[in-house]
Amino acid sequence: MIRYHMSQNPNVGLLLDIDSTIPAVLHGDDMRLRQILLSILGNAVKFTETGSIGLRLKWSIATDSKTGILKAEIEDTGCGICPEKMKQIFEPFSQARHYEHKHVAGSGVGLLICKQLLHMMQGELKAESELGKGSIFSFELPLKIVDVTPSAFKEGKIRSAEDDTVATVISFRMKDVHILVVDDNVLNLQVTDALLKRYDAGVTLVESGEQALMELEKESSYDLIFMDEMMPEMDGKETTRAIRNKEASYYKNVPIVALTANAISGAEERCIQTGMNAYLSKPVDLKKLDRILDQYIPEEKKNRNLAEIDAVAWEDDQTVEKEKFRKFLSELSLLNVQEGMEYCMNRPSIYISVIRLFSQTDLTDNIRNAYLAEDWKNYIIYVHSLKSSARNIGAAKLAEQAQRLETAGKNGNTGYVRRQTDSILRQYARLLEYLNTALLELPEDEKKMPQRKQFSQPEIQMKLMEMQEALESMNPVTIEQAVKSVREISWSADNERELEQKMMDLIEDLDYLEAAEVVEELKKNAI
């Protein structure tokens, strides 16, 4: 048994008792199972002030040896539920009536939805409770065995042979935090966006200093700005000076953190002199990012309660993804997969999306045209961008060659640049061809990219109305169908895309009523 202490409430511990005989890979709806466990654990956290919350997972094999039963129990020492109200516990909006602690907020629909989801998966949610002593929620779920090898959960790790937890565990989640990320490299933007979304941050991405200034004119409430130091036209230093020179006190005080691929001696002092508060090296180190966020995000906007619980689910998702993409990843011989995965939180799905974006973002023409025009300023910027992108996917040799060309360009060594440019472009072309061929070997469901389309205003309103009705029905199947319909919409504004993502996050957390309110906002924005 393993104990995690909740950061915000030292009087409550999280106890995990995970059967080490659970098979390494099972066939089932992992996303819904994760939703169910986190929803029930979330309720336990809300209503437990002292004592402990326990998660027990047990495994038993069926007679045919091809399937088994996963039994889950979540037990808390919270306020409990009185006997006469137990019959109503799975009714909508019952939470406020059943629990004695009226100050605790909650929609009350989570347990009902968990019960519906489990029923769809041939399981059943049960509850036992005693007022003043706590509650036990349990279910049994039949699952097919894919890989019978025991998962060997022990000492807080999903797999004892791998240690991915240090790089992926975060120390808090954010509440109502908005972060602006400025970078001309779309790969860096995608990776940084994925890292920050792990904290539940609202993220806006822009590709230039000019766009950043325009965004700040529209919205001056960002809690933090990440600024790429080296960009075409207006670089990070110029953009920071322009922000600091504005009259309003917000612009003088908003934290600005440099993102730089040139973490050399004196980099921090150089950034501070231009008005930045700190700097992060690219590719971003997750532990350093966590420290930066902890330093500059106000404490009242942090939620440390569910960080450990979420980490367990995150590790489990890693394990499932690694099994799914094991063959694909093992054949990427031209890349340092381990290094690339570290930059992508050890999540194959994120890493593969970055590889796909790398293969689609060809800088060849930019580098060649700048070279032929002897436009050394932009040449340096483009090889710098190639260096950063190559590092993100673990293409170490290409990144090193780009680094040498960048240094040569800065030092005015045009002779070296002339001798080596054709060589790096040939190496780059071979890598792009290799990756495009490798991507064809992905599992079929990963090749299907969501197709966004332009819809008329009435069509968008109709889709959103159907989404709202589905959420109000609380029927998971209907909601899933409505989600697919909404995901077809090509939004014209950043705030609409952000609202859609917020809706999706709330749906994943089974907070359907809050998601319906976000849909209402989307309807108003889409008019």
d(C-alpha 210, C-alpha 17), whole Å: 53
**Residue 164: its pLDDT value, please?**
39
Expressed in percent and rounded to 5, the helix, strand and coil fractions of the chain are: 50, 20, 30
What DSSP string runs through 125-177? EEEEEETTTEEEEEEEEEEEEEEEEE---BTTBS-TT---HHHH--S-EESS-
**Residue 165: its pLDDT value, please?**
39
Q: Is 20 exposed, middle or buried (0-12, 13-18, 19+ CB in 10 A)?
A: exposed
Q: What is the pLDDT of residues 202-235, one digit of tens each?
A: 899 999 999 999 999 888 889 999 999 888 888 8
Residue 114: Cβ within 10 Å count: 24
Contact 118, 139 (CB under 8 A): yes
* Side chain identity at residue 446, one-letter code: E
Per-chain mean pLDDT for the chain: 80
- Cross-strand pairs, 453: 489
**Residue 382: its pLDDT value, please?**
92
* Side chain identity at residue 238, one-letter code: E
- For 342: left if phi > 0, alpha if psi spans -120 to 50, otherwise beta; the answer is alpha
Confidence band of 329 (pLDDT split at 50, 70, 90): confident
State which H helix or E strand residue 484 sits in.
helix 476-486
Q: What is the pLDDT of residues 487-496, one digit of tens each?
A: 888 887 778 8
Q: Using CA of residue 522, residue 502, residue 348, residue 158, what is the dihedral sign?
A: negative
- Cross-strand pairs, 393: none
**Residue 152: its pLDDT value, please?**
55
Which structure tokens are listed for 34? 């994760």
Of the ranges 76-85, 310-319, 321-330, 501-510, the best mean pLDDT one: 76-85
**Residue 420: its pLDDT value, please?**
94
What letter would DSSP give residue 89?
T
d(C-alpha 174, C-alpha 286), whole Å: 16
Q: Nearest to residue 145, comparing CAs of 73, 62, 71? A: 62
Residue 323: Cβ within 10 Å count: 14
d(C-alpha 321, C-alpha 437), whole Å: 21
d(C-alpha 207, C-alpha 184), whole Å: 4
pLDDT above 70 covers what percent of the chain?
A: 83
- Cross-strand pairs, 124: 140
pLDDT above 90 covers what percent of the chain?
A: 29
Confidence band of 91 (pLDDT split at 50, 70, 90): low
Residue indicated by tokens 């979540």: 74
**Model-level pTM greater than 0.85?**
no
Q: What is the pLDDT of residues 41-74, one digit of tens each?
A: 878 888 888 888 899 999 998 777 788 999 999 9
d(C-alpha 276, C-alpha 254), whole Å: 9
Task: Determine the average pLDDT of the residues in 169-197.
Answer: 86
Q: Is 207 exposed, middle or buried (0-12, 13-18, 19+ CB in 10 A)?
A: middle
Comparing 146-155, 240-249, 452-461, the range with the smallest average pLDDT is: 146-155
d(C-alpha 450, C-alpha 310), whole Å: 27
CA distances (Å), 198 to each of 120, 176, 255, 347, 391, in order? Answer: 28, 14, 20, 12, 21
* Side chain identity at residue 164, one-letter code: D
- Coil vs helix vs strand at 20: coil
d(C-alpha 168, C-alpha 342), whole Å: 9
**Residue 472: its pLDDT value, please?**
81
Which structure tokens are listed for 124? 């059943």
Number of H helices, E strands in the chain: 23, 14
